[in-house]
């Protein structure tokens, strides 16, 4: 299982509205295995398919960043079906190295998705897992966490991204 290159801002693949997975089989299983390895190698707590150049609605999340194999979530065609509360905490993104900022999101979410065989399931997530899942689901719609910032936080992100577009990324990061 190879570690895949992570696409960095401003790669246009990060702005794509990804297509639903319709074929469940060996190719999808291989993609997900590679994504999990890539996420753990980074290390990050989540990775979405467009971040490795694949325009499909697939995400992997692991709030333990590789410490607990049981914690890995594979989400195919995921969607938020319910959410509650509000929480603000720091986020980063493997595709935007060296930048973190506080993002406000629902505190808990219920997610409907399918597994690698196409079987539907639902999960309830809270705390870091809820945040990571919402961050990765945004990626599937071409949305980055910096898009969710407002006010001074947004200004800070915009000036960072302007420098990034001008100079290129500094190095690979350690965030989700």
Between 114 and 131, name the residue whose CB sits nearer to Ni ion.
131
Segment near Ni ion (CB under 5 A), from 57-65, 86-94, 104-112, 117-125? Answer: 86-94
**Pattern of binders to Ni ion over 41-80, x per CB under 5 A?**
----------------------------------------
**Would you call 126 a catalytic residue per the annotation?**
no
Q: What's the rounded Cα separation, in Å, for the pair 65 and 4?
A: 17
Q: What's the rounded Cα separation, in Å, for the pair 4 and 141?
A: 21
Residues in contact with 167: Cβ distance below 8 Å, sequence separation at least 6, in sequence order: none
Q: How far is the CB of 138 from Ni ion (least distance, A)?
A: 8
**Inter-residue contact 118 to 75 (CB < 8 Å):** no
Q: Which of 91, 101, 129, 136 is catalytic?
A: 136
Gyration radius of the chain over CA positions: 15
Q: Does 93 bind Ni ion (CB under 5 A)?
A: yes
Q: Helices in the chain by DSSP H: which ranges?
A: 26-41, 127-140, 151-167
**If binding means CB under 5 A, how many residues of this protein chain bind Ni ion?**
1
Between 21 and 137, name the residue whose CB sits nearer to Ni ion.
137
Q: How far is the CB of 113 from Ni ion (least distance, A)?
A: 18
Contacts to Ni ion from residues 23-42, by CB under 5 A: none
Between 93 and 113, name the residue whose CB sits nearer to Ni ion.
93
124-147: buried (b, 16+ CB within 10 Å) or exposed (e) per residue? ebeebbbbbbbbbbbbbebebbbe
Closest CA to 148 of 103, 87, 91, 81: 103
Q: Does 149 bind Ni ion (CB under 5 A)?
A: no
Q: Does 103 bind Ni ion (CB under 5 A)?
A: no
Interacting residue ranges for Ni ion, rule: CB under 5 A: 93
- Residues tagged active-site: 136
């Amino acid at each position: 299982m190879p570690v895949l290159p992570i696409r960095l801002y401003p790669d246009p693949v990060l702005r794509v509205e990804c297509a639903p997975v319709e074929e469940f089989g060996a190719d999808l299983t291989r993609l997900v295995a590679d994504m999990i390895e890539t996420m753990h190698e980074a290390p990050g707590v989540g990775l979405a398919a467009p971040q490795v150049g694949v325009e499909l609605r697939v995400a992997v999340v692991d709030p333990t960043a590789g410490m607990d194999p049981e914690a890995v979530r594979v989400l195919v065609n995921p969607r938020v079906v319910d959410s509650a509360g509000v929480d603000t905490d720091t986020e980063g993104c493997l595709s935007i190295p060296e930048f973190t900022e506080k993002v406000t999101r629902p505190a808990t979410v219920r997610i409907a998705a399918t597994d690698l065989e196409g079987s539907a399931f639902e999960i309830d997530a809270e705390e870091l897992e809820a945040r990571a899942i919402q961050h990765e689901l945004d990626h599937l719609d071409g949305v980055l966490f910096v898009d969710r910032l407002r006010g001074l936080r947004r200004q800070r992100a915009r000036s960072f991204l302007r420098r990034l577009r001008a100079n290129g990324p500094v190095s690979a990061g350690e965030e989700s």
